Structure 1
Amino acid sequence: MTWDWEYTGQFLPDMLSGLRITVVATLVGYALALVLGLVWTLLRRSPSRIVSQITRWVMEFIRSTPLLVQLFFIFYVFPEFGLTLGPLSAGILGLGIHYSTYTAEVYRAGIADVPRGQWEACTALNLPRRRVWQDVVLPQAVRKVIPTLGNYLIAMFKDSPLLFGITVLELLGVAYQEGARSFKTLEPLTTIAVLFVVVSIVSSIAVRRLERRYATY
């Protein structure tokens, strides 16, 4: 079997369009995961044992169920309750919620690693609770966990093909459609594999640079 370069040039623009959808879904979903993960972490630290335990079990449930099942639920079941989302919006929401439970644990580890003396100093200075978190605790905690947070960004990118299950035409979806149309699978599937590798390597390099510049150990 030989490689058809002319055929590759014909479908490459569609592949790049699918790559754009994949990158958008990953970046927006990741931003949602970072924000929602912090919310989970703060709820886990709530003085109310009820709130803390409910949050813990919700997170465990999300982590214990497959991402694809969650995407199906958001896209196909939510409309039964009056909430209808487009494929891309549902995919972003699913990725964000699923990975937020992992970023929450990363935040929790970073916060636990903040020296006790920092907390005691804040108490001695009688700083407002908002300033304690905003100016003292979170800046130190986040810098400690930048490498792990970066790894989850790459992991989310590699999980993005699951969005094809809810009809999002990302990279895998475009490759599948092209293969079904032309009955050729070598070129489309190999191309998306190469694109995934290239983007993952570039992302890894960017995360490492960010780590060297801002992370602390």
Structure 2
Amino acid sequence: MSRVLALKSSILGDYSQSNKLVENYIKNVDQANLTVRDLAAEPLPVLDFAIATALRATEDLSEQQQQVVDLSNTLIEEIKTADTLIIAAPMYNFTIPTQLKNWIDLIARAGVTFKYTENGVQGLVEGKKAIVVTTRGGIHKNSPTDTMTPYLRTVLGFIGITDVEFVYAEALNMGEDAATKGMTEAQDQLLALV
């Protein structure tokens, strides 16, 4: 049975188009093999000096630092036990939401999810598939304003996830017809991936 980790990162809750797309996708997933993490409803800490130090330390951690490491370990374990990650990544000001960046900062750990070798970086989270569902008010796919796609492909590849597909729902703020078309096309593409 395929295990799925679904990550939501929209701050819009019930009004979120990316959440709706992900929720429609996971309706078709065996619920016993599904983990859902709403990064906006349950925010993760923002990377700062104390957290960066904790994630690099090997001993002598304070109680607060140990809690951060434990949280990071939990997030990484969710990835490792999943076969597929479905990541909701709405575009905010030409980039990913802060909530998703906080998750990335806690799961990208040297010696745990990647390592440096004499041949360069080697990702340690292999054999996974990622589906990134990105919603945008305008049209950005394949243009210089789409900084999200290369960033997410790079950071996922950095930890070893190289099988990455993107589902785009664009033009959502460009009139009702364009928004309906964008959501329908994204929904159809997602259903084809189930």
With normalisation by structure 1, the TM-score equals: 0.29
With normalisation by structure 2, the TM-score equals: 0.32
- The structure with the greater share of residues assigned to strand is 2
Rg (Cα) greater in structure:
1
* Larger RCO (CA within 8 A; separation ≥ 6): 1
